[in-house]
């Protein structure tokens, strides 16, 4: 499994250019520009997704079709579903490439970049952890409902916030596999992480007053 996964990770990194940041790790301007581009692309994607979603909702309402959120269709076997793979590496360590590879291998994967597209899962995190932490000015781990992932058809997850809960997930899903992704050094990782998150938070800050889901995202980033 690990050999096949490695093969697909390499393939995904070279084909998904929108999210791929070709970091060389040597601290060049090329690296910095790549991180900024990735952050802005992700940050702008949030209000863009919401606008397109609203237009789609309005169109369906006008033509009288049944309203259904395609990203929130529950798995009929949700009660029986289990988490099979969880990434415990932080963002900027190849988590998105890994998520794409797992998708190809038949493990539907929820990555943090698409967390906001899944209403009930995202709202659970906001109410249970993000908003409480911001309001109390103190980080709280809360009691996340991990079973929401298999309920909505996901067999795996990558990146935050699930990466912080490996002990709890292991207790609930003892057969789950955990994958740790890392960078070549903590300095290289933090530089990439810091630039990316700041690039994301700026678009989110200026649009959070207009879009409620972006306000929730702001709680997450804080």
Quick check: 82 and 175 in contact, CB under 8 A? yes
The predicted pLDDT at position 20 comes to 37
The predicted pLDDT at position 104 comes to 95
Tens-place pLDDT, residues 114-141: 888 898 999 999 999 999 998 999 989 9
pTM above 0.75? no
The sign of the dihedral angle between the CA atoms of 93, 119, 49, 210 is negative
Comparing CA positions, the residue from 197, 216, 206, 177 lying closest to residue 39 is 197
Quick check: 89 and 192 in contact, CB under 8 A? no
The predicted pLDDT at position 80 comes to 59
For 185: left if phi > 0, alpha if psi spans -120 to 50, otherwise beta; the answer is beta
Running along the chain, 222 residues long, what does each successive block of 10 average in pLDDT?
Answer: 56 42 49 60 57 62 51 49 94 92 96 88 93 91 95 96 96 96 91 80 61 69 74
Tens-place pLDDT, residues 46-56: 556 556 666 66
The predicted pLDDT at position 19 comes to 35
The predicted pLDDT at position 220 comes to 78
The predicted pLDDT at position 3 comes to 56
Q: What percent of the chain clears pLDDT 90, i.e. is strictly above it?
A: 41
């Amino acid at each position: 499994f690990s050999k096949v996964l490695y093969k697909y990770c390499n393939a995904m990194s070279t084909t998904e250019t929108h999210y791929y940041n070709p970091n060389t790790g040597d601290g060049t301007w090329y690296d910095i520009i790549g991180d900024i581009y990735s952050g802005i692309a992700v940050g702008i994607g949030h209000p863009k997704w919401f606008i397109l979603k609203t237009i789609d909702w309005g169109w369906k309402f006008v033509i009288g079709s049944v309203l259904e959120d395609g990203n929130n269709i529950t798995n009929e076997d949700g009660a029986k579903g289990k988490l099979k793979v969880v990434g415990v590496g932080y963002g900027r360590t190849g988590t998105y490439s890994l998520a794409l590879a797992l998708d190809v291998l038949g493990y539907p994967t929820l990555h943090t970049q698409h967390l906001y597209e899944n209403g009930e899962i995202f709202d659970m995190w906001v109410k249970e952890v993000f908003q409480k932490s911001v309001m109390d000015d103190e980080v709280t781990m809360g009691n996340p409902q991990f079973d929401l992932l298999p309920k909505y058809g996901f067999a795996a997850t990558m990146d935050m916030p699930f990466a912080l809960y490996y002990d709890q997930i292991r207790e609930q899903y003892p057969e789950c596999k955990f994958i740790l992704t890392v960078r070549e050094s903590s300095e290289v990782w933090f530089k990439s992480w810091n630039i990316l998150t700041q690039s994301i938070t700026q678009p989110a800050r200026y649009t959070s007053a207009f879009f409620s889901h972006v306000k929730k995202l702001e709680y997450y980033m804080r």
